[in-house]
C-alpha cells in the first residue's frame, strides 16, 4: 500500500471490524478477570460496531439476543453464588466479609487481590462466627465453587455473543 494515499472504505471496514473483535476478546478475558466488565464490554463493542456500519435487521436481532444474554448473566450472577453459599452453610455475614475482603484485597494486590481477599474475608468471617475451621473452609469452598460455575457460564455466554456478532460482521464484510 502506498502510504501517500488514504485507506479505502473497505480497508476502514476491515480495520474497525478487527478492532471490535479485539475489544470483544478483551471482554471475554473480563469474564475471568474481575476488573473488566466482560459481557458488558462485548455488548458495548457490538453496539459501537452498529454505529460504525449501520443497524441492519441482522444487527438488531444480534443486539437483542446479546442484550438478553447479558440480562441472563446478571440474574444468574445473583442466584448461583447465593445458592451455592447457602448450600455450603455460608452465612450472610460471611458473604459480607467476602465483599469487604475483596475490596481490601483489590487495593492491596490489584486484580488477583480481589479473589484472594474475598476468599480470605469469607473464611475469616465464618471462622469468627462458627469457631470451626472445617465448617468455615467448607462454606468458603462452596461459595467459591458457585462463583466459578457462574464465571464458566459467563464464558459460554461470551463465546455465544461473539459468535453471533461474527455472523453479523461476516454479513457486513463479505
Please give the Cα distance from 116 to 106 (Å, whole number): 9
Residue 168 has a CB neighbour count (10 Å cut-off) of 21
Average pLDDT rounded to a whole number, residues 101-118: 87
Q: Cell digits for 152?
A: 464458566
Rounded CA-CA distance 82/141 in Å is: 13
pLDDT band, very low/low/confident/very high, at 156 (cuts 50, 70, 90): very high
Confidence of residue 9 (pLDDT cuts 50, 70, 90): low
* Burial letters 100-123, b for 16+ CB under 10 A, else e: ebbebbbeeeeeebbbbbbbbbbb
pLDDT band with cut points at 50, 70 and 90 for residue 163: very high
24-61 residue pLDDT tens: 999 999 887 766 789 999 999 999 999 999 999 999 99
Query: Quick check: 6 pLDDT over 70?
Result: no
36: DSSP letter: S
pLDDT at 7: 54
- Name which of 96, 9, 94, 86 is nearest 54 in CA terms: 9
**pTM of the predicted model as reported, rounded to 2 decimal places:** 0.84
Rounded Cα distance, 10 and 172, in Å:
10
In the prediction, which pLDDT does 60 show? 97
Amino acid at each position: 500500500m502506498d502510504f501517500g494515499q488514504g485507506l479505502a472504505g473497505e480497508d476502514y471496514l476491515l480495520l474497525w471490524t478487527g478492532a471490535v473483535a479485539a475489544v470483544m476478546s478483551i471482554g471475554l478475558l473480563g469474564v475471568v478477570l474481575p476488573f473488566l466488565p466482560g459481557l458488558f464490554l462485548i455488548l458495548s463493542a457490538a453496539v459501537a460496531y452498529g454505529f460504525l456500519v449501520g443497524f441492519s435487521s441482522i444487527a438488531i436481532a444480534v443486539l437483542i439476543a446479546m442484550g438478553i444474554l447479558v440480562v441472563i448473566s446478571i440474574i444468574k450472577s445473583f442466584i448461583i453464588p447465593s445458592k451455592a453459599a447457602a448450600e455450603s452453610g455460608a452465612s450472610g455475614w460471611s458473604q459480607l466479609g467476602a465483599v469487604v475482603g475483596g475490596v481490601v484485597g483489590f487495593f492491596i494486590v490489584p486484580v488477583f487481590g480481589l479473589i484472594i481477599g474475598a476468599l480470605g474475608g469469607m473464611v475469616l468471617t465464618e471462622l469468627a462466627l462458627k469457631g470451626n475451621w472445617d465448617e468455615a473452609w467448607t462454606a468458603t469452598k462452596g461459595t467459591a465453587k458457585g462463583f466459578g460455575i457462574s464465571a464458566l457460564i459467563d464464558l459460554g455466554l461470551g463465546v455465544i455473543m461473539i459468535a453471533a456478532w461474527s455472523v453479523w460482521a461476516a454479513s457486513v464484510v463479505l
